[in-house]
A and B are shown apart, each in its own frame.
Chain A
Amino acid sequence: MNTTNNSTEHTVKAFDSDISEMRGLIAEIGGRAEKSISLAMKALADNDYDLAREVVKNDKQIDALEEKIDRMVIQTIALRAPMADDLRELVATLKISGVVERIGDYAKNIAKRVAVIDNNLHIEPASLLPAMAQAASQLVDDALTAYATRDADLADQVCERDRVVDDFYNTIFRSLVTHMVDNPKHIGAGAHFLFIAKNLERIGDHATNVAEMVYFAVTGENIGERERGDNPSDPLYSED
């Protein structure tokens, strides 16, 4: 049964309204995480400290939402003892809320670097970061759309497209290292940009995690392990 047919309602109507409330909360936390990414990148581009601080403040709401979702999922599992696709959806919701919270953390981490990067330096490879952020953010958006619409195909595509973000990362990584070798005075700022690229790469991975969860919730099967763009030769590579 590779489709979910959520058209049939539960005999206990309150269960349906709990589920739709949780879906709404995931949409909300996801929307906030995406916003954090775009605001963090804007703060970085404009060297806007106030905006960066706003991202940090925003993150508290994301944390609060995660807690709220977790509480609700746990309560629903306890009260309704869900089965089959309901159970899978609730487990996915629980995991997705945690993953999206981490995405928010990465955006916050990017925002925190705004104050410490000397933006008078011209570091060419960093100019790719906005496009990379755009690609990562789009993955998050698509993963959440896949969740909202129970779309296993879209979830599958997200996993596939994570390569694009990984490729960005590898390109930026190499060119930044080269740039730093040639311009030792830029090493401080260059290192920050490296971390920002790494954060965006991790956001892409987490979008993939969300997509995997969606795929499982919808189909009951794990998505086929595919080759990840993780580059073991990357000195910043870490499985966190």
Chain B
Amino acid sequence: MTTETTTITNKMTTRNVDVFYGEKQAINGVSIDIDMENVTAFIGPSGCGKSTFLRTMNRMNDTIPSCRVTGEITLDGEDIYAPSMDVVQLRARVGMVFQKPNPFPKSIYDNIAYGPRIHGLASGKEELDRIVEKSLQRAGLWAEVKDRLNESGTALSGGQQQRLCIARAIAVDPEVILMDEPCSALDPIATAKIEELIHELRGKYAIVIVTHNMQQAARVSQRTAFFHLGTMVEYGDTSEMFTNPQEERTRDYITGRYG
């Protein structure tokens, strides 16, 4: 036994990341390390740039024409904006759950099976069935949909759709999962299931979660980053952030004194 086991390796790093929408700068010089051991929460007032920054981490912002990213973002030390980077592959490795649920207009089954299929993760129908069931189980949706897997994903309720998207994200067994307010449309039980899932996935995947719910951030994360007006004001251990933040702006925000 060596003490090496406690060494934390960074799964993703960002250095001096700026993001612009046209002329308007939305993110200003953000440098952060994301590791496998800890769940990282992004908190901050609406419009501060959490989603924008999260999207840079798997190049989802490529789909927004006016959006420009500078600085460096790496996955396992590799620059994800390098020309050699395969974006489809990148998004399989860095999965994302969006703020608004966005199921494909396909069956519940196909919503989950789509990723494993195109990435060749299942050797046959049986294995695909197993992946679909397991993913739905983990997202806390299986019991509700197991008898209607052929119905359209868009026919589900908002909260069910969100869990479907979470199931879809974990079905491809990503290395990093970015979740943008995954529980904002969920009831407390479904929320608890997602939080349980996050606990379960911790250590296997690097996880980043954006949440407006302070208690949720405190419950599920070990590291918290506070964003304000496009900058990362404070980044530290969650327990410290919520009991003794170092920055006044953080304190004002988490104690409800903001604005």
Q: Using CB atoms and an 8 Å cutoff, list the residues of chain A in contact with chain B.
A: 1, 5, 8-12, 15, 80-88, 220-221
Contact = CB atoms under 8 A, between A and B. Distances in A.
Contact of A12 (B242, B246, B256, B259): B256
A15 B256 CA distance: 10
Contacts of A86: 255
Contacts of B247: 1
15 contacts: A1-B246, A8-B252, A10-B255, A10-B256, A11-B256, A15-B256, A83-B254, A83-B256, A84-B245, A84-B251, A84-B254, A85-B251, A85-B255, A88-B244, A221-B244
Given A81-B214, A81-B215, A85-B251, A1 B256 contact: no
Given A1-B251, A8-B252, A11-B259, A83 B214 contact: yes
A36 to B, nearest CB: 34
B101 to A, nearest CB: 26
A12 B259 CA distance: 11
Interface of A is mostly: loop
Interface in B223-251: 242-248, 250-251
A8 B254 CA distance: 13
A230 to B, nearest CB: 29
B257 interface: yes
Contacts of B248: 1, 5
B215 A84 contact: no
A5 B258 CA distance: 13
A159 to B, nearest CB: 20
A8 B257 contact: yes
Contact of B243 (A8, A15, A80, A87): A87
A11 B252 CA distance: 10
Contacts of B251: 1, 84-85
Contact of A9 (B218, B244, B254, B257): B257
Given A82-B255, A83-B256, 14 more contacts: A1-B245, A1-B246, A5-B248, A8-B252, A8-B257, A10-B257, A11-B257, A11-B259, A12-B256, A81-B214, A83-B242, A83-B254, A84-B251, A86-B255
A84 B246 contact: no
B104 to A, nearest CB: 37
Nearest to B244: A220
A83 B244 contact: no
A80 B214 CA distance: 11
Contacts of A87: 242-243
B255 A88 contact: no
Contacts of B252: 8
Nearest to B213: A81
Contacts of A88: 243-244
Nearest to A221: B244
Nearest to A5: B248
A1 B242 CA distance: 13
Contacts of B256: 10-12, 15, 80, 83
A83 B257 contact: no
A12 B242 CA distance: 19
Nearest to A9: B257
Contacts of A8: 252, 257
A9 B257 CA distance: 6
B225 to A, nearest CB: 16
A86 B243 CA distance: 9
Contacts of A1: 244-248, 251
A5 B248 CA distance: 9
A88 to B, nearest CB: 7
